[in-house]
Structure 1
Amino acid sequence: MFSASRFLAAASCLALSAPALAAEDAAPPTGDTSGLTDIVVTATKRETNLQKTPISISVVNAEEIKKRHVQSLFDLGDGAVPSLRVAPFEARVSALTIGIRGIVPLDANQPAREQGVGIYIDGVYLGRQHGVNAALFDLERIEVLKGPQGTLFGRNTEGGALSIVAKAPSGKFGGRIQGGIGNYGSHNAELHLDLPEYKNFSVKLDGVLQYQDPITKNPMPGQLGWGYYDRKGLRAAVRWKPAANITNDFSFDVSQDKNTPFYSQLLNYNPNGCVAGLQSAVPNCYLPGTAYTNLTGTVKALPSIVQVTPNNRMAVADIGVPQQASVDTTRGYTNSLKWKVTPDLEIRSITAWRQVTATQWDNSGGAHRVPAYTANGGFSRYSLANLWQAQFSQEFQAVGNVGKLDYVGGLFYFNEHVSDNAATPNSNTWNADGTGYTVNSNVFTNPFASIDRASEVWSKSYAVYGQGTYHLTDALHLTVGGRYTNDKKRGVLHMFRNVNYDVNTTVAANNGYAPLNKSWNRFNPMATLAWDVTSDAHAYAKFSTGYRAGGASSRTANYLPFNPEDVTAYELGIKSDLFNRKVRVNLAGYIMDRKSSQVDVSSIQTDNSQVVNGVVVPTNINILKTLNAPGITKIRGIEADITARVAPGLTLNASYAYTYTDIPKIYIPETAVYQKFYIVYTPRNAASASADYEVPLGGAGALAKLHIDANYSQSTQAFDQFATHNDASLVFNGRLALADIPVSDSGQKLTVTLWSRNMFNTQYVFRRDPSNSLPGSPTSSTTTGSISNILGDYGNFNAPRTFGIDAAINF
């Protein structure tokens, strides 16, 4: 089906932006077309004006997606919304790390681990972060709800929620065909078709295609390079209106995302000057969380064919390795029924089933990751994994009003089954003198010969919630709400380091393994007092809570469990339209206190003793355990969004986010030391600015449109346990369009666009890993550390400059 869809389109999948960025989405409220326009949101489960909704929200529309040439959620990693952070896990874009306001889990792609930001598509919660980088078709808007959303949206929304709303069938014939080409062999195509209503049924069809060649070439013939993607998707939506007060929306979608990771380059060699001897003699050669007094071993010389490249993205990798595309496939059905029982009451039902299948083939490090060079030794950690997930959810809502009271009530049920397995064989073997290498045939014939881990999890969630807004006066509004949630999670670790725990129960018991069987209950209250200071200025004070469920780490031999974490937030905000609605200023300040923060400790451990069918299978397993930090993690922030229509056709926008975070030190019992931890991918300062100018061309309605945006992020940590920072970034994007050119008397219009992302080709390391430049993790001794596997820091550069031309016809 997907091979036949290449004539279809690349619907710009996801985009988020500051409130002002969506200002062109609605018609002006008055005849003054030079003023900023109203924006409708559904963050409170009913349609409200963004400027009068007492929640910090950013909204994006389809026009903003086009302006920034956003094709997937990963494209928002440049910081278009300063308080939203998007980054790949490791170097992989198939499992994105998504955070808001400092709630950013490092490794939420484990089956028994939850996200901290809830992602919703047409009101349906997505249980896994896998597949979210696939195409999402024709969107009405995306609402970025900042801060805990534990009352109306539920669990795992500590940092906020992304509420994605697709365009529904219109019942009128029309649509859009779009296509384009760009550098790196990229091309995209897009088809959106609305069919006329027939016997109360309306149908909308969407198709997408997005493709790009690798940005770093692989020297090994017949193997893919790095930074490649090939995305396809289809969606069908049907709206049935059997009566004037009943609307039933049914949709089916299927998407496939083939991709390869970014190449992990060696940025330096032994940067901390590690040598054997007293730890105190080389103070920079220190592994956090340890109490080493002595260092043993030798830092080995790099083979001559390994390149150290600290400043530039490799166009061609120094090491050729087996590399094929990872494949994410998502599909799902959604049925949304709305019944307007009376003018003051609407009953809703949202029923959904979704499935994700993810197959990971990640060989991004070459010789730059552990293990270090050994004559005739294996190298290049091939990270392989499979994940299968299916979920069913049912939600009932009652939305209405009684006198001065507006209310929302609901019941929620969620059922998820997810399993995974992983293997990490070395794909290459050094020659004796280190001047060349061969490829291990088993990575083609039997790559999963040795299983690092395999786990399976069953989760159920039940919730009842309610929220009411009482209008004390015409200008004063009090909102109170609460949600009671019961989460049940059952998980098993089937295999660890190629030992089948289901069969070898004695080994499992000796490793301290116990299945996960936990249940958690939470009541999450909220309260907001909103004041309409004037007709164009609205202030609010908000108290809110949220929580993220606990789980267990499948990367540990004992399936180490961890507890939920809870957030309490206090927020003050003001939203205002000034100077006859030509300037919009939205400000928010917040304090968040998080208890039992889930933090990650990661290390790579090598094991060359596994024997399968008489063949030694070296493994390099990522041991990542999750701990709950004691005390209170502090998160403090300020957000500002300013939009100004400074002249006819000219709109300027600036957004800023300041985020302070601090996690109390954690006592590590294995080493009897206190260790400092950090929140990843959360810059202290981040900002975005844009300018849009449009001018009429002739008298037929055509327009010339110019857009430019700049996005800044201060450097951040990429790992919980390392203070090492990645690079700060400043990225510019631009677009020039000739829009709405009439091409026929029947209303067809043509738009031609020149676009560029990262237009000045800024290069920066978005992920820097110091684990291979520090002594090894403790084994039998906690006072002696080995430096035998030290290489240097390795990291991943951002995407290069891309550019192209698109054309679209509306009909």
Structure 2
Amino acid sequence: MTFNHQIRAGLLVGAGAIALAASPAFAQSSISVAPADEQAADVSGGTGSNSGLTEIVVTATKRETNLQKTPISISVMGAETIKERKVQSLLDLADGGVPSLRVATFEARQSALTIGIRGIVPLDANQPAREQGVGVYIDGVYLGRQHGLNTGLFDIERVEVLKGPQGTLFGRNTEGGALSLVSKTPTGEFGGSIDGGVGNIGSRNAALHLNLPKFAGFSIKLDGVYQHQDAITKNPLADQAGWGYFNRKGFRAAVRWQPVDGVTNDFSYDVARDENTPFYSQLLNYNPNNCLSGGTNRAPIAIPSGSTCVTPGTAFTGTQGTIKPLAPGIVVNGNSLMRTADIGVPQRNSVDKTHGFTNVLKWKVSPEVELRSITAWRGVDVQQWDNSGGAHRVPVINYTTACTAAAPCAFSRYSLADLRQRQFSQEFQAVGTVGSVDYVAGLYYFNEHVSDDAATPNSMGVVYVSPTEAKYVTIPFCTGSTPAFVGKAVNGCSIDRASQVTSKSYAVYGQATWNATEALHITLGGRYTWDEKQGDLTWSRNINYAVNTAAATANGYNRLDKKWRRFNPMATVAYDFNDDVHGYVKYSTGYRAGGASSRTSNYQAFNPEDVKNYEVGLKADLFNRHARINLAAYMMDRKGSQVDLSTIQPTATGNFNNLVTFNAPGTTKIRGIEADLTIKPTEGLKIDLSYAYTYTDIPAVPVTYREFTSAGVATGNSTTVLQKFYIVYTPRNAASAAIDYEFPQILGGARPKFHIDANYSQATQSFDQFATKADASFIVNARLSLLDIGLGGNANKMNIGVWSRNLFNNQLVYRRDPSNSLPAVQSTAASGVPNVVVIGNNGNILGDYGNFNMPRTFGIDASIKF
């Protein structure tokens, strides 16, 4: 059976399930709206009541609605679940607790995240002129960059994962969905909590959450967080940072002003600082494709039939160059996380600083209309120091007798970068109900300015001692002067690249739901967006384009000056078969804006990509609300997929990371099924099961390599090959299960509680140009708590708990890079050599390298509520 037949069968099964659930045998009593305290308890995973599963309130449609009656595929993680899973930052969601949501770090540092939903996952969304495919929102405010996202979470009420295109209400760059974080608001009553804990790997955390009494219409809430972890992998070089370290500090103040009935103004300010180092990039194998040494451009070695020493997208007939032997001391380990690096290298902490304010004004003008204004300003400042690969990334150590104390042979690419981002957004909304029509209308404005720079000097040298012994020394780097730059990390370096871009977006949108009958609801919506981008590549490979305009022209450089217009419609038909069973069919669209790659010398531009989504869903509460099942099946077609072709190009002073982003022709197919089941069979016991099946296929892309002379003149020789690309961090099958059990009260009211969750993800690609996959993942987390311990007869309560993440210490490679295992593409012709682009270069082949997941962590924490 083909997959298209499978997905059609899935759609039929979903429709059949809707009909079955609507039958009298499955008819249940109506759901009564739970009080606010019950809603909060259910969202947070509370299990204390035996009255069944209570209502979960979400704001996915810009109004508070019952999750079960909202015709969107949504997963919700509440405050209690966040605590049970020991989620301190967004990276902790990488274990797969929400199967459709994928989270991974950028190699360079922990605070830059790759976030994907339903197979919409960009490989490199950290470039200033490139956008993410999943919108991240905090209290309704869109975050323009995925930098700084991994700072510690403040007091979060819930995390909503909206799956599928959200182009109507949430706008551009939400083609895969939206990740919405909702903070707890001031209560106006004195109270709060003090939290703290310690664990292995030197971890410790503390938090203060304080609500002050309401005064003169003002309510104030203060939050402070601190999180620390020592290095996971030690650095043998004295006085240098290890890998996997973080130290986070943050403060947030929220003020709610309610001067009169019907008017609420929420103002918040937050500031955070995250010092961190990347996870260690290990050498996983050595020359795994058995590439051959020898040969020259004029007399290459033929590639044997059936060899895997074939670089995707090339038409190599032979190779030349020597496979360098491993230098003394380099360790190959593809089985377990190295807790001490093989060779010490310079490494200091990267620093991410985030800050901003949000003001949300709501005015209930009449029973039919509420007017809202959402104003926000945010900034991110980054200094990156990434030496995660050491001897495991190019350039490969050329260990020969020529490596002397006077002239050590250089290696260890130190990836240095700076980024400064500022954004302002203003949104006006009108939300209300007129007769049988619920409506949302809005105007949106977004203005972002980003600048960045990067350098990759070699930081280490090797001195030849003997065939089996080497001396490793630090070498001077970044000793020059770059007065045109203000970046702290790259100061004094030869500049690989630097750019700046301004993005503006304007939108008008509306959505209306006609409640035709008590059971039938028809929703139509649309959003019209104007996008503008103006950007400049100011430096490339240490050439100042503003000064050396001739070199910029010779490199084919054009500044980015693009405008795009899009209309994104949406239509949904939802039907309430009874008070407990709800079905919907949906058509939705979204798009991701275009941009330009600052990792190319010509600042190569690319266009937007667009997605259409066809979906059917079922949401049902069964057995007097002791079971809840939500199903969704979808078919997404994406045109203009933005794909990346990446190579590391060694130079005399360092290495240039060249990444070309372009739009793949044809239609990318994304198909999937999502299922969530919650069962509450008895008082105190709750079981959660989730599953996601995601099929993706990008049509083969013609890739052309052209040959140039050493002067940069095209010779006319070229090769064109159809190359397969893949969607990264998207497992075909992913599942999660959790059990929460709350024991009867003991010790005068204290409540023991046990939580365990297990999360599985099938192996998937880490790079979209390679078929090579990282490891399958199976992670188990657990917690045992004692809740509501009375303190001295007063109303204050204490909770204590012991916890473990990755309980069974399952060690797996979540990011595998095969680019150093295959021949490099040559484009510069040597005199008298015909069509050098069909001759691969083996001179920098070493092996796959990658990053292991977090090892087992465990600890004890306590919280005092007052």
Category of TM-score, reference length = shorter chain: over 0.9
Give the deviation of 1:196 after TM superposition.
Answer: 0.1
- Given residue 655 of structure 2, which amino acid in structure 1 is its aligned partner? N
> Quick check: 1:539 aligned with 2:539?
no
Q: Deviations over 1:128-183 (max 9, x none)?
A: 00011012300111111000000000000000001111111110000000101000
The range that moved more, 45-54 or 776-785, is: 776-785
SS of the residue aligned with 2:470? Answer: coil
Superposed displacement of residue 32, structure 1: 7.0
Matched to 2:644, the amino acid is D
Q: Distance in 2 between matches of 1:165 and 1:465?
A: 22
SS at match of 1:509: helix
Instruction: Give the CA deviation at 1:668.
Output: 1.1
Contact 2:42 2:53 in 1 (8 A): no
| Aligned partner letter, 1:797 | F
Deviation at 1:261, TM superposition (A): 0.5
Deviation for aligned residue 1:377 = 1.8
Residue pair 2:50, 2:684 contacting (<8 A) in 1 also = no
Aligned residues: 782
Aligned counterpart for 1:521 among listed residues 556, 565, 568:
565
Identify which of 390, 394, 413 aligns with 1:381.
413
Distance 1:91 1:69 in 2: 24
Q: In the alignment, which of 698, 723, 734 is matched to residue 771 of structure 2?
A: 723
Matched letter for residue 406 of structure 1 = D
Residues 545-560 of structure 1 mapped to structure 2, 5 A cutoff: 545-560=589-604
Change (3 A) 1:437 1:445: farther
Q: Aligned residue for 2:840? A: 785
Shift in alpha-carbon separation, 1:285–1:29, aligned structure 2, 3 A: closer
1:430 aligns with 2:465: no
What is the TM-score of this pair, normalised by structure 1? 0.95
3-state secondary structure, aligned to 2:371:
strand
Q: What is the rounded CA distance, in whole Å, between the counterparts of 2:754 and 2:153 in structure 1?
A: 26
1:454 corresponds to which residue? 498
Corresponding position of 2:12: none
C-alpha separation in 2, matches of 1:190 and 1:365: 34
CA-atom RMSD in angstroms: 1.7
- Whether the 8 Å contact between 1:29 and 1:38 is mirrored in structure 2 is no
Shift of 1:695: 1.1
Q: Tell me what 2:322 maps to.
A: 298
Task: Provide the rounded CA distance (Å) in 1 between the counterparts of 2:106 and 2:516.
Answer: 47
Corresponding residue SS for 2:412: strand
The residue that corresponds to 1:228 in the other structure is: 245
Residue 861 of structure 2 is aligned to residue 806 of structure 1: yes
- In the TM superposition, 1:60-459 aligns within 5 A as 60-90=77-107, 92-275=109-292, 276=294, 277-281=301-305, 283-374=307-398, 375=403, 376-433=408-465, 435-442=470-477, 448-459=492-503
Question: Which blocks of at least 5 consecutive residues in structure 1 are unaligned?
Answer: 1-20, 609-617
CA contact (8 A) 1:22 1:64 kept: no
Partner of 1:678: 726
Unpaired segments of 5 or more residues in structure 2? 1-37, 295-300, 482-489, 706-718, 829-835
Partner of 2:17: none
Structure 1 residue 778: deviation in Å? 2.8
Q: CA deviation at 1:495?
A: 0.2
1:393-440 Cα shifts (integer Å, max 9, x gaps): 000000011100000000000000000000000110111346121101
After superposition, what is the alpha-carbon deviation per residue over 1:719-748, rounded to whole angstroms, capped at 9, x for unaligned? 010000000010100000001111033310
Distance of 2:333 and 2:203 partners within structure 1: 26
Partner of 2:611 in structure 1? 567
Cα distance in 2 between the residues matched to 1:784 and 1:180:
58
Give the Cα–Cα distance (whole angstroms) in 2 for the partners of residues 377 and 779 of structure 1.
25
Residue 487 of structure 2 corresponds to none
String of CA shifts for 1:251-273, please: whole Å, max 9, x gaps: 10001111101111111111111
Shift of 1:777: 2.3
Q: 1:498–1:29: structure 2 CA closer, same or farther, 3 Å change rule? A: closer
- Structure 2 distance, partners of 1:26, 1:706, is 18
2:107–2:279 Cα contact (<8 Å) kept: no
1:714 and 1:431 map into 2 onto residues whose CA distance is: 43
The structural deviation recorded for 1:698 is 2.6
Listed as ranges, the matches of 1:36-51 within 5 Å are 36-51=53-68
Pairwise CA distance, 1:24: 3.8
Of 659, 662, 673, the match for 1:624: 659
Say if 2:136 and 2:143, in contact at 8 Å, map to a contact too: yes
Structure 1 contact 27–37 (Cα < 8 Å) conserved: no
Selected match of 1:795 from 844, 847, 850: 850
Asked if the contact 1:91/1:264 (under 8 Å) is kept, the reply is no
> Does the C-alpha gap of structure 1 residues 304 and 30 become closer, same or farther in structure 2, counting only changes over 3 Å?
closer
Distance 1:590 1:31 in 2: 35
1:730-781: per-residue Cα shift (whole Å, max 9, x none)? 0100000001111033310011110000011000000111110100123222
- Aligned residues of 2:201 and 2:230 also touching (Cα < 8 A): yes
The match for 1:660 among 676, 695, 698 is 695
More displaced stretch, 546-555 vs 302-311: 302-311
Q: Distance in 2 between matches of 1:388 and 1:777?
A: 34
Aligned-partner Cα distance in 1 for 2:361–2:578? 37
Quick one: structure 1 residues 674 and 83, their matched pair in 2 at CA, closer, same or farther if it must change by over 3 Å?
same
Q: Given the superposition, is the C-alpha separation of residues 476 and 361 from structure 1 closer, same or farther in structure 2, using an over 3 Å criterion?
A: same
Whether contact under 8 Å (2:273, 2:354) holds in the other structure is: yes
Q: 1:23 to 1:335 in 2, by over 3 A?
A: closer
Letter in 1 for 2:614: Y
Deviations 1:317-362 (A, max 9, x none): 0010011111110000111000000011100000000000011100
Could you tell me whether the CA contact under 8 Å between 2:128 and 2:451 is conserved in 1?
A: yes
Cα distance in structure 2, aligned partners of 1:646 and 1:325: 49
Secondary structure of 1:242's match? coil
Distance in 2 (CA, whole Å) between partners of 1:31 and 1:491 is 55
The separation in 2 between residues aligned to 1:326 and 1:255, in whole angstroms, is 14
Q: How far, CA to CA, are the matches of 2:345 and 2:47 in structure 1?
A: 62
2: distance between equivalents of 1:599 and 1:745? 63
- TM-score, with structure 2 as normaliser: 0.89
> What amino acid is aligned across from residue 80 of structure 1 in structure 2?
G
Q: Secondary structure at the match of 1:622?
A: strand
Matched residue of 1:745: which SS? Answer: coil
- DSSP-derived class of the 1:74 partner: helix
Inter-partner Cα distance in structure 1 for 2:417 and 2:497: 9
* Residues 445 and 690 of structure 1, relative CA distance in 2, 3 Å threshold: farther
Among 620, 628, 635, the alignment partner of 1:591 is 635
Structure 1 window deviating more from structure 2 (530-539 vs 775-784): it is 775-784
Tell me what 2:752 maps to: 704
Greater C-alpha radius of gyration: 2
Query: 1:4 maps to which residue?
Result: none
Q: Counterpart of 1:3?
A: none
**Alpha-carbon distance, 1:373 to partner:** 1.5
- Where do residues 6-45 of structure 1 align in structure 2 (5 Å cutoff)? 24-25=41-42, 33-45=50-62
Q: 1:560 to 1:809 in 2, by over 3 A?
A: same
Q: Deviations over 1:221-260 (max 9, x none)?
A: 1001000000000000001111111000111000111110
Please tell me the residue identity of whatever aligns with 1:440.
I
Quick one: structure 1 residues 452 and 53, their matched pair in 2 at CA, closer, same or farther if it must change by over 3 Å? same
Q: Equivalents in 1 of 2:93, 2:350: separation in Å?
A: 21
CA distance in structure 2 between the partners assigned to 1:704 and 1:501 by the alignment: 65
* 8 Å contact from structure 1 (residues 123, 163) kept in 2: yes
Confirm or deny: 8 A CA contact 2:43 2:77 kept in the other structure. Answer: no
**Residues 29 and 37 in structure 1, CA contact (< 8 A), matched pair in contact too:** no
1:721-800 matches, within 5 Å, as 721-780=769-828, 781-800=836-855
Give the secondary structure class of the aligned counterpart of 2:185. coil
Displacement of 1:281 in angstroms is 4.7
Paired letter, 1:553: S
